[in-house]
Structure 1
């Protein structure tokens, strides 16, 4: 397939990165559509240990292919694609046909207004069930509280990002499915502007179900949110916990004083616990400031 002069010279303004595992059914339709919408872009397909010829099909359609010898996870594929891409702007899409390439220009238009990352925020009706919509709403609210910024879609894998800024956080991204959660929170807490563009995600090309399991993977999302929040904004995590423990101690002391006119050991333990958690937050905040220096 013919390439532009920019692609031949190794200089590309945009790289579209498609992490793919056994997506041979979706790529013959998806890659030509991407090519029509952004003909100047290079397309990088990361074949994450597929056994259905995904890599060969992508290569025959003119895409650059990075292959993993075995499945390493969606996050590992994203990281490999980000390292291999030549573009100054990285566009990440799912390779299963859920994301519409016609939305790419809308993301890029918003990106060029001065944002470092633009996320395709899915309409609630795009979620498979009301339970998943409820869970995503909870995670969006929790992540918003941890970062101090409104997050409209924490888990959307459709996004455009500044390549240099995105590579700063590759070491933070897990090898599993949760790279969107980590990258969004990392950008926000590092002070990079993030915007959202509404999109509607379709069904997978093969009509199969998502590999994400609500209960098991939901707990992982929760832990990841807390970990990234503790890394970039520790006091937003430690201060509320310290306050809750202090209020428990004060409440219990009020009860024991009213009943027996004395201060019990449990109240003292709770007060000390509150102090220790607060001091841990102070120390973590100082350590976090060194992390910001690393990214200057």
Structure 2
């Protein structure tokens, strides 16, 4: 039987931890429970000492993603389950996630539209999901969900890509899909946060999510980024040339710049694609 490690990144969640750890210890006594205290300023350490859980302390607040990376490095299980410690995720859904793990490399808990923190967040997540689905060539239902089960070898293979922030689920999802591993989404219940507010900011973290999507895309499938940009530049060149030709009967420098930019960006995409292929071949030879 495969061993399961539940990883809880924690920052000032002493109020919700007792209930969560009580349920985890009673319902999953054989699971390894790892609490990573990410520089909390409350009684998190004292709370964890009362339960059967492994506590790992960060000397200061390093970020949600950094806490997850620390937990995965210390976990001994064959399956990693990550979830929030703020009371939002229902531990009962762990069984649902694990029911698929024999067939898939990663199982992600998908929140419904009404399960999002705010309508603005729901709309933002829909935009991210749509863009990421284009990048991954796979329908992504919940890009930012932190409630997931993943095979140990798959998670550790992608660990070096994780950022230290809240956007690690975005990176892990795209990296798993673009690496050729299998993924499935399953509905989960979402409870009200114990502290009543999210640590994710729509504008600041939203722009970071978009940059991570582009970064992971260029790392695994560069032409999915370079080709549309190249095509757009070439198309603008055609539009500009058509306008200047019919208005003034001439070919302008702006048209030339747009055409050249399209060609250069396309060639950069080809080179990036070749580098990506070389990286795959080197990784496969090392394993």
| TM exceeding 0.5 | yes
Counterpart of 1:32 in structure 2 is: 22
Pick one of 234, 245, 254 that aligns with 2:222: 234
Distance (Å, rounded) in 2 between the aligned partners of 1:52 and 1:295: 43
C-alpha displacement at 1:49, in angstroms? 0.8
Q: Is the Cα–Cα contact under 8 Å of residues 190 and 292 in structure 1 kept in the other structure?
A: no
C-alpha displacement at 1:133, in angstroms? 0.9
Q: Deviations for 1:89-112, whole angstroms, at most 9, x for unmatched residues?
A: 000000111000000010000112
Distance (Å, rounded) in 2 between the aligned partners of 1:60 and 1:288: 48
Counterpart of 1:125 in structure 2 is: 114
Does residue 1:19 correspond to 2:9, yes or no?
yes
Distance (Å, rounded) in 2 between the aligned partners of 1:124 and 1:190: 28
Query: Scaled by the length of structure 1, what TM-score is found?
Result: 0.93
Distance (Å, rounded) in 2 between the aligned partners of 1:242 and 1:139: 22
Q: Is the Cα–Cα contact under 8 Å of residues 27 and 95 in structure 1 kept in the other structure?
A: yes
Does residue 1:139 correspond to 2:128, yes or no?
yes
C-alpha displacement at 1:25, in angstroms? 1.0
Distance (Å, rounded) in 2 between the aligned partners of 1:194 and 1:126: 21
Distance (Å, rounded) in 2 between the aligned partners of 1:42 and 1:142: 36
Q: Is the Cα–Cα contact under 8 Å of residues 172 and 182 in structure 1 kept in the other structure?
A: yes
Report the secondary structure of 1:195's partner residue.
strand
C-alpha displacement at 1:51, in angstroms? 2.1
Q: Is the Cα–Cα contact under 8 Å of residues 168 and 295 in structure 1 kept in the other structure?
A: no
Counterpart of 1:289 in structure 2 is: 277
Query: Scaled by the length of structure 2, what TM-score is found?
Result: 0.96
| Over 4 Å off, 4+ runs | none
Distance (Å, rounded) in 1 between the aligned partners of 2:204 and 2:183: 28
Any gaps of 5 or more consecutive residues in structure 2? none
Counterpart of 1:116 in structure 2 is: 105
Does residue 1:255 correspond to 2:229, yes or no?
no
Pick one of 48, 57, 62 that aligns with 2:47: 57
Distance (Å, rounded) in 1 between the aligned partners of 2:236 and 2:148: 43
Pick one of 44, 67, 79 that aligns with 1:77: 67
Any gaps of 5 or more consecutive residues in structure 1? 1-5, 7-11
Q: Is the Cα–Cα contact under 8 Å of residues 110 and 186 in structure 2 kept in the other structure?
A: yes
Counterpart of 2:211 in structure 1 is: 223
Counterpart of 1:164 in structure 2 is: 153
C-alpha displacement at 1:225, in angstroms? 0.9
Report the secondary structure of 1:146's partner residue.
helix
What's the Cα RMSD here?
A: 1.3
Counterpart of 1:3 in structure 2 is: none
Q: Is the Cα–Cα contact under 8 Å of residues 34 and 101 in structure 1 kept in the other structure?
A: yes
Cα distance, 1:231–1:73 mapped onto 2, change above 3 Å: same
Does residue 1:269 correspond to 2:257, yes or no?
yes
C-alpha displacement at 1:290, in angstroms? 2.7
Distance (Å, rounded) in 2 between the aligned partners of 1:140 and 1:169: 20
How many residues are treated as equivalent by the alignment? 284
Does residue 1:279 correspond to 2:281, yes or no?
no
